[in-house]
Amino acid sequence: MKKRIAIFASGSGSNAQKIMEHFKRNAEAEVVLILTNNPQAYVLQRADNFEIPAHIFTRYEFYETDDVIRLLKNLQVDLIVLAGFLWLVPESLLHAFPNKIINLHPALLPKYGGAGMYGDHVHNAVLAAKEDESGITIHFVSDKYDEGEIIHQSRFKIDPDDNLEVIKFKGQQLEHQHFPRVIESLLKKMKS
């Protein structure tokens, strides 16, 4: 039986798209659901383009009920992937899917992680600190932002004249290259 992936995203969903593309004709795994807390998120259009069902949920539904957990359990989800999802995962979801929730962070953790550190906030902090490299971190999700066990890191060099857009582009290239591959290798290690 194919492994089943659910993706949480809050925005555009470019990483979600790369993951959906990667697993579209994969014999081992498939994306079965896209979940978002943002009814305007472009990831919903991307899910529709791949004919993958989507679920929009409210803060109340996510934190005060087991509706999302029940949905994921009913779909027999093996791995939950956070791809630009901005809310802290509730403990109830962590307990329901232990070591089965991963996240991508656009910096080399433990640097530039924590509450409020996402997207441009991360890249601007890296620029302000005049770092000569940055990168991406794929990690297991814990009950604290960006503190779960690291699965994979990739780096890129920051040139002196790189601006925010260049750093974002370099990081996104690594995200699109590595995230689907890391997901695939994790799924292969999971017991059937």
Active site residues: 105
Determine whether 160 is exposed, middle or buried from the number of CB atoms within 10 Å of its CB (0-12, 13-18, 19+). exposed
Give the helix ranges, DSSP H, for 27-98. Answer: 43-49, 59-64, 67-74, 91-96
Select from 123, 127, 119, 135 the least CA-distant residue to 160: 127
Structure tokens at 46: 């991307």
